[in-house]
Structure 1
């Protein structure tokens, strides 16, 4: 059974220029994901899908493969990751006759996801492969989704989801809700190639703590991630309390 990891990293980030190769502490952001993948017990190949020569060179320097650059039309702001992943898989299957049973997507913006998360996710899906054909990582919402509001044209607050405000007002009263954290997407290759999606009618949730779910999108996110990485004892204590 062979596992392929794909790390998608386009060069045209607008929120933070060259975000994927901007240093986080002592190494480029993308390297945290490359090194986590290289430490995994299960991953046979680690491929970076990029349109950018600088990202390619950094990835090669740290041991990932970049067998080809993806076309510019698959590296736009509105290009879904699934399209870039599908292109990469199709090239590997058609041009190189590569065969893998499972595909794992590791976004470079999740630097606190480590090899233990990757291996645990793989083991959980394999253990329940008769019930599920994919797995996606999630983290619990800090506050109930029912507390979200939309703002109308007159700046009035309107409910995002209707609920009985007389009966449900404490956080503990609500059913737990979760969000996709973008850290791990794992699926059987055949299923992905058929549907071009990591979510199917049989997708398993892989729970991750809030800190490990940190996603880099802004300069503030970089500082938060750096704080957590530099203060591992504090991070571990917070995570244990959450669990």
Structure 2
């Protein structure tokens, strides 16, 4: 059964370049570079130092912003989810900020923050922060009241109940938010790099468009997709390690 699933997943991945080849071959999208052109451009990029610098820089930006977002969002979400007074003081203001798109933040961060790097990191942070926050809130609110009462009846303090009952029970929801947050962190990063950054994969892709190097655009898209998938897989592995006590079917 597991081997069949792996074959289906491999076939799903291979179907993408096959469909791409057919579309370019049949002329359905005349401006779309062919797989051979993109492969040639990819090989050329692998020999360019700027490509590797951009790849490493984008990866560091995403991972750094994501770690900060999780460090802030998880405790904040747990507190909002469990304490009504704290939720009333903080959540309405956060909910007003959540719908603002990343592009709208770019002019503000350029004016307020002293360096472009901080602007890009902040916008990337926002992409990961709100999914983590909201899922953590829902996870904390979804914990059965009886669990907390049972722990307290056995002599557990408020902190022990919070640490050993509420937090573990909310972990599945927290990790779901972390997976979504990682994907949105990449979305926000690429948007910020295209507008405000002078380096990174987003800037590399946009520069390829402005210079007419269309195969390089596809190279950038493919690399971003691979790094995004790898980042999400890393989060899933971490989640499965943390909630090893729960039987979870691999997604």
Instruction: Give the TM bin, normalised by the shorter chain.
Output: under 0.3
- The normalised TM-score by structure 1 is 0.27
Which has the larger strand fraction? 1
Say which one has the larger Rg: 2
Higher-helix-fraction structure: 2
